[in-house]
Structure formats: C-alpha cells, structure tokens
Amino acid sequence: MRVSCASLGVLLVAFSSSAQEPFPHTHPLAWEGDIASRLVEAADAFLLKEIAAAKEKRIQGWSRDAAFLEARRRDLAHMIGAVEERAAFDAFTSKHLLGSTSTMEAFAVRWPAFADVQGEGILLEPTSDPVAQVIVIPDADQDPETLVGWKGDGERSRQWGRLAAEKGCRVLIPTIINRQATHRQLSNREFLYRSAFVLGRHLIGYEMMKVQALVDWCKRQHAESPVIVAGWGEGGLLSLYTAAIDPRIDAAWVRGYFGPRDAVWEEPVYRNVFGLLSQFGDAEMASLIAPRRLVVDPSPSPEIMVPPGTGGKPGRLRSPSRVAVEAECLRACDLSGLGHCVIGGFEDVLPAQVTPCHVPNPTALPDSVARHARQMHELDRHNQQLLVESPYTRKAFMQDLQTESLLAFEISAQPYREYFAEEIIGQFDLPLGDPNPRSRLIRETDRVALYEVVLDVGEDFFLYGILCWPKGIDPGEQRPVVVCQHGLEGRPQMLIGEEGHQYYKAFALRLAERGFVTFAPQHLYLFGDRFRTLQFKANAIKKTLFSLMVPQHQQLTRWLGSLGQVDARRIGFYGLSYGGKSAMRIPPLVPAYCLSICSADFNDWVWKNASSRSPYSYVWTGEYEIFEFNLGSTFNYAEMAALIAPRPFMVERGHADGVAPDERVAAEFAKVRHLYAAQLKLPQHARIAWFDGPHTIDGRETFAFLHEHLEWPVPTD
C-alpha cells in the first residue's frame, strides 16, 4: 500500500526564527517554504555535479595498457549481465529456406544463444565463400525483413542487410525486442529489463550474447573472413557494446546511437546500466575497439518519447548534433592514441571488393509476431529460472560468513558489509564535517518539545527532520533515541500527527511521550518523478538513493550522539513501508544504530521485484525506480538482516498488508530467525510481530522491543 500525503501540494511554511526558539546549542533556522522540496533539489544538483566529475575521472584514469583495457571489458560485461555461458553450435536449430537465386540463398534461422534462450532472424548466404560476415542489427522497432527490403517503405539506402549481401557478404540479421506495450502499459523492453536488472542481468547483455553466438558461428564457419557488426538505434548500441567487449569482431558501424552519454538518466529505462558513467562514456567504449575500425554515422537516431503516467519510466531518445558526435569520436581517438574512430556511412565499413550477388525475393515471410513472442517468452522464462535458482546463488555468495562465535561472525561479516556498500548501495566519499545544526521550535505539548532541524551533510547536501525532545530529562541523565522513518511520499510531519496519516499513528510523538528522544528525518522518496529521476542519475555513476541517505544518517547519529542527554550507544531505527526498506539498507552501513525495526516492508524482496507471475510483484507497478542491480545474486532481505546482526532486529507485519502474502514474509524471516537463534544463539534479538491489520504501524510489540533493547522502562501512566 502506498503511504502518501493527502496535501502534498500545500507548502509547509516555516515559522520565522525570530518567533521560535532554537534547540539548545544550535543556530536559528530561518528557512522558509517547503524544505523537503529544497532537499530533493539539492540532491539533484549534487548528483549532476558528481556525473560531471565522473567524466573527468574517467579521462584522467584511462590507460592504453592491454591489461587495463581487458579489465574494462570484463567490467562492462558484468554491468550488462553478459555472464552466461554461450551455447556452441555448428548448425542452426532451425533453418527454413525463404528464397534463392544463382548467387544467394535466404533463410529464416534460429540458433542457440545461452541456457534455453535462442536467437532468431534472417540469414543471407552467398553461394560462394563470403568476402565478409556482417551481423546487421536492427533498431528495436524494426523487423529483420525491413533491412532486406522485404517489408517497410522500400528506401534502399536503409536496407543495410541487402547492401551488404549484394557485395558478396554473408549477412545475419537478428530479431531484437521491440518497444511495443503488451504487458499492461510497459514497453516490452522495460518489462524484461525489470526482472533482469534485479537478477544481475540486462536486456542489453541478453541481446549482445545472441549476437556473440552468431560471431562464434561465423568464426567457426570461415575463420579467415572478417566479422563486422553494424546497427541503427538500439542496434547501434548493441554494435558498439559487442565490438567493445569482443575482440574477434574486426570492424563496427554505429548509426543513430553514438554521442555524449552523460544524460543517459533521461533515456528510457532499458538504457539504464548500473555504474556506466563511472567507467564509460561512448568514447571510452569506442576506445576498447581500437585498433579495430569503428565507423560512426551521425545520422539521426530513432526519436522516442515515453511520457509520464504510463506506468513505466518516462524517457526520451534524441539525436545529438553532428558536432557532438564528431567531438565524441575525436575523444575516442585521443583515448586510444589511434585514428580508429571515423565518421562515415555503411559502405565505409564493408570490404572494398565487390562480388555482385542478387538477393532473392521470398516466397513467404516468417510470422514476425509469433517470432517476437517466442523471443519475449524465452527471455522472461530465463529471468524466472534465474529467480528460482537465486536462493542457491545467494547461499554460495554468503558461504564465507562464519557463525561459530560472535567474534568470528563480526570479522567475516565486515567484507560483506563493504561489498554491500560499494557494489549494491554505492557510496560517496562525503567528508562529514561540522553539521552546523540549525533548528526552530514548531510545537510543544505538556510532555514533548518538537523542533525542525537541519544538518549539513558534506558541502552541497543536508538533512532535514523533526526532533521530538521529551521534557523533564534530569541533569546528567542520558536517554535512548529512536529514529523514525516515513514511507513513500511521506514527510516527518506525518509521524508527529501534524499531517496526520492513519498508517503512521504519530509513532514518533508517541515514542517521545514514552520518554525516548525521537528524530523523524525527511527522506528523498517524494514528489513522484522528481525523486525517481534521482535514482537513475545515481545509477549512472554506480550509486542509488541510499548512497545519499546513508551519509545523512551517519551525520544524524553523530550529531544525536554528541548531545549531552543522549546515550550514543542506544540509538535505534524504526521505519514503515519505504522506511522499512530503509531499515534493511541503512543500519547495515551505519554502525551507530544499535537495532533496526522493519515495519510493513519485510518480505522475499528479490521475488517481489523479479517475479513476472506474482500479482504482488513490482514488475507490474509504477515504482519504476525500485529495482536494484544484482540483488538476486547477493542480498535478499535475509542476507541484509545478516549485515545488521548481531544487533537486535525486528519485523512488524500486518496480516492484511498487501506488500506480500504472510507465507513469503514468514519464509524469509525464518532464515533470519535461524541465523540469530540457531547459529548466533541470540534468540531474543530477532523477532517478528504479527497483528491483524493492514500496512500500518501497530506498535504494541515493537514498542516493547524498543523498551527492552534500548533499556528504557515502560511508562506506568
């Protein structure tokens, strides 16, 4: 269930500092307007600055050393999930003659690519030895037959398959997934991307491996004949990626793709590659092809617009200017030290020798709709098989975790926390200096004073939230703290009752009335597409929204722990919904949190993100930013809980919560319980609170858990 504010359009106008007392030892807070909006704006500016800095780092760190370049090829293959073992084949699975002339035969073909996935397309085979073997890759919305002139508008200059075949080349034209929407309102490419991304795979990698399988076959058939890849639009992308990764390819032609890539975050979601800009712009990608020939055609790319409100990520494809394409091409040559990247047309990548061949007219065309449906089904089936295998993959990944003693556990868990920080969440090197706390009193009750607080987090970023300070704390007394986290489209005001939302039950204020110091931070996940765009800006440089929120909490716990009447050893985290998602990701990386409570979120998270069968799955919803790369092979919620252990951990779960069915929640928590109780011998440190209710804070068992583990007496009044 979506936790949202009914009055998001209303600005939370601040009280002036002249009328409101600041919290002791802080400066007055004089900001006006909607501070949450200001926070998202600051995060956006910060990420754009980091994207620009990433380009400079790439340029400065690039090397022409062979070992360096080979390592980058491996990194790129990992980024796009091209990790399956390709199937070796000498004969096509299916080869159906479409037509023939005295110099050429045309076939509809299928070939094994990887696992149970096959490629399909068109083969144009000269009757004599080919002068070159050309794999021509169409744009997503083109059928292979279009590139031979059998379908489409008949414009000969765009019939690249025919042009290569007429020169005596063997031509292979694979089918790639189109952009049509057959699964609700999602494009077919986004539909497959979602599951694949969570499982450490990518549609780019899948389609590239189909092309590489053709390269394998070509090299076995005529090893001496050069192999060329060529493509337009999505086919141009695949041509560039495949030639960059596979040194067996002799030359590449890219049309309608090449250019500056720093705004990849505004492209459709199936272009989102986790960490791409941390290592690669198009120039860096092109330099991996050197000294082999790369011909870039600056002709326009397909113009695509995915508008907001479709259920998928909004995005657009626009053609860069010729000047920008030429500049990126020059940058590629500078990086390689060679003139391997040139501007030109399709003819410039083909052999000079001309052996005239005549392309046959087919007697009947393949059923392109059925062919595409098979390709969709096979890739979806492969994703779902990876999902079935993922628990075993994660078990192997976590095999170095030691549980014979708490000391051994802590030592062995640390490398996993570091991997989680670097490879899954992403971490910025933000020096946490003076928090420069600013505050103002916004309300008082007879038991609690409530303050808005702003802390600096690094130079260009900050944290904002509401501090609930119990009255009557004795001199020298130190209280425990609960950091209370809102959910999707939430605000701290909801947690104290001011923007009253029934699912929160003002739990930050209720806990403060019980004597806990509480703090309700404003997180970044509000304003719809505004915040979701942040995720893709972050993904481009191998970061996530949590890459910004983790340092916020590091600074927050530092500041809270510095307050004289706070016990820094007793700071807990309690979050609902997206705040529960935060409860799984932030405490593993913020050791100052001595416990964590995940409310209304805990479940079999990988299944919820990757299943194309379950009605609970995010594959079907509008939360297009929710997907995190490669969790399926690394950290489901049980593994994330292991990063919190041996600190106390609790799940709060309503039977009527639509996040997931009870049995999925119970099965995933059983793994957590086994770790704590059976292996670490800490049965009281891991609990689940079931209650008969919906997606909400219940508070009965969780409040008792906080009192127990934060060592604060239950109030008697």
Is the confidence at residue 203, as pLDDT, over 70?
A: yes
User: Which pLDDT score is estimated for 16?
Assistant: 37
Q: Please classify residue 153 by burial: count the beta carbons closer than 10 Å to its beta carbon, then call 0-12 exposed, 13-18 middle and 19+ buried.
A: exposed
User: Average of pLDDT values for 540-549?
Assistant: 98
Domain ranges for the chain, please list them: 27-53+398-709, 98-389
Mean of per-residue pLDDT scores for the chain: 94
Residue 11 pLDDT level (bands cut at 50, 70, 90): very low
Q: Which of 354-363, 459-468, 470-479, 658-667 has the least mean pLDDT?
A: 354-363
Same fold flag, 27-53+398-709 and 98-389: yes
Residue 473 has pLDDT above 90, yes or no: yes
Quote the CA–CA distance of 459 and 202 in Å, as a whole number. Answer: 35
pLDDT at 96 over 70: yes
**Sign of the C-alpha dihedral, residues 35, 40, 44, 47?**
positive
Which of the four pLDDT bands, split at 50, 70 and 90, describes residue 500? low
CB 505 within 8 A of CB 699: yes
Residue 284 reports pLDDT greater than 60 = yes
Give 444's strand partners. Answer: 449
Q: SS3 of 201, please?
A: coil
Percent of the chain scoring above 90 in pLDDT:
91
Residue 110: strand pairing partners: 94, 120
Does the pLDDT of residue 643 top 70, yes or no? Answer: yes
Bond into 291 cis (ω within 30): yes
> 65-79, 123-137, 172-186, 223-237: lowest mean pLDDT where?
172-186
Biggest CA-to-CA distance, the chain: 99
Q: Domain 98-389 has what CATH class?
A: alpha beta
pLDDT at 260 over 60: yes
pLDDT for 177-192, tens place per residue?
Answer: 999 988 778 999 999 9
Whole-number pLDDT of residue 430: 85
Give me the pLDDT at residue 544, please. Answer: 98
The pLDDT of residue 630 is: 98
| Residue 352: per-residue pLDDT | 83
Judge contact between 286 and 332, C-beta under 8 A.
yes
Q: How far apart are CA 161 and CA 357, in angstroms?
A: 12
- Strand intervals (E) in 54-131: 94-100, 104-114, 117-126
Average the pLDDT over 92-106 and give the result.
Answer: 96
Say whether pLDDT at 583 is over 80.
yes
Bridge partners (DSSP) of residue 227 are 133
Residue 7 in this model has a pLDDT that exceeds 50: no
Strand (E) positions, 132-241?
133-137, 170-174, 227-232
Which whole-number Å values give the CA distances from 42 to 347, 549, 637, in the listed order? 48, 13, 30
Q: Which two tokens stand for residue 574?
A: 């309690």
Residue 344: Cβ-neighbour burial (10 angstroms; 0-12, 13-18, 19+): middle
Residue 165 scores a pLDDT above 60: yes
pTM over 0.85: yes
Q: In degrees rounded to 5, what are phi and psi of residue 680?
A: -90, -5
State pLDDT tens for residues 112-123.
999 999 999 999
Of residues 460, 372, 433, 400, the one with CA closest to residue 175: 372
Task: Indicate the class that CATH gives domain 27-53+398-709.
Answer: alpha beta
